[in-house]
Amino acid sequence: MTTSDQHASDSSLTTRPTHGDGPGAQPSLGSTAGRPGGYRRHIAQTVQGLLGLYLLICLAELALYLWSVTTLRGWAERPGTYDLGTAETLDGWTLAAAFTDIAMILLIGVSFIVWLYSTHRSDRMYRPALRHRSGWAIGGWFVPVLNLWRPLQMVNDVRRGALGHDPATGSGLVATWWGVLLASSFASRASLALMPAEDATFVAAMDGLADVAVADSVLAATDALACVLAIAVVRHVSGLLATPAPAR
C-alpha cells in the first residue's frame, strides 16, 4: 500500500486554487478545517482520557498481583495456611481485572486508530511528505508480521505530514512507546505460558500461580508505562498539528 506515485495521486490537494475570504467566496478545505480539526482534538482528548483511566487501572492491578504473589508463595511454603475465602477473592478480582483489560484495550485501540486515521487523512497533512496511504492507519494493526512496525511508521508519517519534513525531535519518544507496547504484547503471552498443569500438586500449583502473578505484575507495570508514553505521543503529535501548516 506504500506507493511511489503518492505525490502524483495527491497533486490535486497540493495545487488547489486559493479562495478569497469575501462574501460569496467559496470556502476552501483549509477554511472548513475548524470542524474536523475540532473533531480530531476531541478524539485526541478521548484517547488521552482513556489512557489515563487505564493507567490507574494498571496500577491497581499491579497492587493486586503483588498481593497475589505474596499470598500464593505463602500457601506454597505453608499449605496449612491456605484460606478458601481469600482464594475466592483473588480469583474474583483477577477475573474482573482480565475482563477490564479486554474492555479498555478495545476502547483505547478503537479510539487511537480513529484518531490516527482521521489525522493522517485530514487536510492538515502536507501530502508530499507522507510515505503511506491513510488506510494503513487501520490495516497496519491487523496484518500479521507487518503489524510489528507499520503502526509505528504511520505515527511517524503523521509527524512528517504535520511539518512537511522529518521533525528533529520526538522520534525517540515514539520509538520508545512502540518498543514498550511490543514488550507488553510479549509479556501477556509469557503469562499464559506459565499456567500450572491441571494435575499439579498443591504446592506446585501455588508456585505456578505465583509465577503467573509475577508475570502479570510485570505486564501491569509495562502497560502502565505504555499508557504514559502513549499519552506523551498523542500530546506530541497534537502539538505538531498546532503549528502552522507548511506552505503548499
Separation of alpha carbons 129 and 125, rounded Å = 8
Which range of 22-26, 139-143, 161-165, 243-247 scores highest in mean pLDDT? It is: 139-143
The domain ranges of the chain are 34-241
Separation of alpha carbons 42 and 30, rounded Å = 19
8-state DSSP, 131: -
Q: How confident is the model at residue 36 (pLDDT cuts 50, 70, 90)?
A: low
The pLDDT score that the predictor gives to residue 237 is 93
pLDDT digits (tens, 9 = 90+) for 137-183: 999 999 999 999 999 999 999 999 998 887 776 789 999 999 999 99
pLDDT digits (tens, 9 = 90+) for 113-141: 999 999 999 888 989 989 999 999 999 99
In whole numbers, what is the pLDDT of the chain averaged over residues?
85
Q: Which three cell numbers stand for residue 235?
A: 500530546
